[in-house]
Amino acid sequence: MIQKKPIGFNFILGSGTTYTGKPPSFNVAYLDPVTLVPVQFETVAFDLDHANKFDEPKWDVVIDYTKEYELPDMSPQSFMDHSMKIYEDPEAAKQYRENRYVKGPYGQKGEPITSDEQKRLFCQTVSNDYDESQFCNDDDKFDLHHDNAVMTFINIVNNHWFTKGKTLHKKSNSTK
């Protein structure tokens, strides 16, 4: 399925605003001070239930990537290995689904993971953009189901937002 060497990885990024079924959250990336290579990544979420009950804000680390996913390190290969685990193991896919929504209500679905959902979750972790995700899922770019109608429309209208090897500005011929 994936035949390229992993060179990066996707994160489930937080947002300080609300999102249906997902608490406000932010992320903290820890870098090696010499190499600036990521060594840890955490998601910190706002505990709305606590805030409503005690009238005080409370933020908790809810996902520590190396511990949660049992990653030996933060390398692209470690993430790719875990993506393959999501593809092969329904429990790993269920864990990712829960964490995708920062352990909020949308991630807490009671129903079991289907093979289609498992593949879709895998594709989310190995794709860089919407088109790659669609092709990974064996879908074409025109997807009006799965709540992707807006993305489909945007990709149809604006699918050539960059051109390989060309710049977006006119180069000067001057050598002053």
pLDDT tens, residue by residue, 50-67: 999 999 999 999 999 999
Ranges of each domain in the chain: 25-117, 127-160
Which DSSP category does 46 fall into? E
Residues 93 and 84: beta-carbon distance below 8 Å: no
Burial of 26 (0-12, 13-18, 19+ CB in 10 A): middle
What does the pLDDT read at residue 171? 43
Q: In this predicted model, what pLDDT tens digit does every residue of 121-172 receive, in sequence order?
A: 898 888 877 777 777 877 555 555 555 555 555 655 655 554 555 444 444 4
